[in-house]
Amino acid sequence: MSASSDQHPHRMFIIAGEASGDHLGSDFVSSLKDITARTGDNIIFHGVGGPHLELQGVESLFPFEELSVMGIAEVLPQLINIIKRINQTADYIVKNNIDTVVTIDSPDFCFRVAKKVQKRSNRKIKFYHYVAPTVWAWRPKRAKKVAALYDGLMCLFPFEPDYFIKEGMSATCVGHSAITRAQEQKDRVDVRQYYNIPEQRKILGVLFGSRKGEIARMGPLFVTALQAMLEEQPDENYHLICPTLPHLATEVECLTEPFGDRCTVITDKAHKWPAFYAMDRAIATSGTVGLELAIADVPHLIAYKINVLTWAFVKWRIKTSFAHLGNILLDRALVPEFLQWDATTDNIKDGLAQLHVSQTVQAQRDGFRDIRLLLCGEDKEKPPAEQAASYILSQIKA
């Protein structure tokens, strides 16, 4: 199979079931277009995605927001419609002579579509997945199931491909898109000037989380720890900045009210990376944001608490020693983690105090440099999206 000439175009179907996948898919398609413009190959794109993929000319089969549901309580009311969309997508792929399907993250939806197509199609359609399931964190046996469904896999982290290669699957590390995004958006705005933050104040980033439940659990803990730190260090002239999502702004503003005009809540998505780069130090709820802070070279710590029963269920199933993706990449405790019972006011306050120690700050920044290199993929000369596009073209031409 090849990326074909004008007489026989190669038909590719892209599936991105959530906002992050829509961004990845857009960059991926853009890079494919750039490469094929040079090589003369002709690819026609179809798919399911959001506004960023649509800007690349990929018209969505249905509104992709229908797939952006999480948790049993949210999924159950939508279950009939989700099954309908799985069948609709599979039918479209089979009936429209799609040659290659590239699914991006959203494994619950994407894997079911792959299974349906393979049952219904009487010809070979190649399947590739972008963003490896976290088999390294838990349920490692999923690697074998993924290998049975897909022809190839594009991974974000360098330790991921081996889990799938040993199952007989083609897999490569293309790198993490946050590396590209951080550089593209770094200088969009001067955060100090735009938000009138005095030059003499150090900037402390506070990342409460991306979900209301996280803010409810972690918010009061972060606030009390910050208040305790500022009481112990009255001479420290700090200004807090809290990047958050627009629909969470009210909760964050209520939490940070005690800090008055020494706190700025930022909801503009275009200001996210400039805000990170403006931070001197940060405290964050565990998640992808920890990796983003490492990319932006911000000394920080993370903390996280969940329901006690959920913790009891999860902790015995997790296969990794760390929560922070940077610590996992380095296989050492570079960034302090305060999880569950360790997530206390005193521990977080003392952790913040350690971020004033110059040796601690330098050690973190040395480690962040190594993390950034590990996130660049196998070909350090190309951005992640271009590596992903080159991999797919090499596969479909094989």
Q: What is the pLDDT of residues 76-131, one digit of tens each?
A: 667 888 899 999 999 999 999 999 999 999 898 999 999 999 999 888 999 999 99
382 and 366, same structural domain? no
**Range 13-23 average pLDDT:** 92
Count of domains for the chain: 2
Locate the DSSP E strands across the chain: 10-16, 43-48, 100-104, 126-130, 152-155, 170-173, 202-207, 238-243, 263-266, 281-285, 300-304, 337-339
Closest CA to 47 of 63, 31, 34: 63
In a shared domain, residues 153 and 239: no
The residue segments making up the domain with residue 67 are 10-175+377-396
CATH label of the domain that carries residue 335: 3.40.50.2000
Same domain, 369 and 381: no
Task: Give bridge partners of residue 47 from the DSSP assignment.
Answer: 14, 60
Helices assigned H by DSSP within 96-127 = 107-120
Same domain, 135 and 198: no
User: Is 387 strand, coil or helix?
Assistant: helix
Go through 69-95 and write b for each residue having 16 or more CB atoms within 10 A of its CB, e for each that does not. Answer: beeeeeeeeeeeebeebbeebbebbbe
Task: For residue range 226-256, list pLDDT tens digits in order.
Answer: 999 988 887 779 999 999 999 999 999 999 9
Residues 140 and 225 in one domain: no
Do residues 333 and 226 both lie within one domain?
yes
3-class DSSP state of 174:
coil
Q: Between the CA atoms of 288, 290, 291 and 294, what dihedral angle is there, to the nearest 10 degrees?
A: 160
Do 42 and 126 belong to one domain? yes
If asked whether residues 107 and 121 sit together in one domain, one would say yes
188 is written with which tokens? 């969009």
Instruction: Indicate if the pLDDT at residue 75 is higher than 70.
Output: no
On whether both 169 and 215 belong to a single domain, the answer is no
Flag whether 3 is in a domain.
no
Confidence (pTM): 0.88
Residue 71 is predicted with a pLDDT of 45
134 with 206, same domain: the answer is: no
Predicted local confidence at residue 4, as pLDDT: 56
Query: What value does the mean pLDDT of the chain take?
Result: 92
Q: Is the residue at 2 inside a domain?
A: no
- Shared domain for 263 and 332, answered yes or no, is yes
What the block records as the tokens of 383 is: 């951005």
Residues 370 and 381 in one domain: no
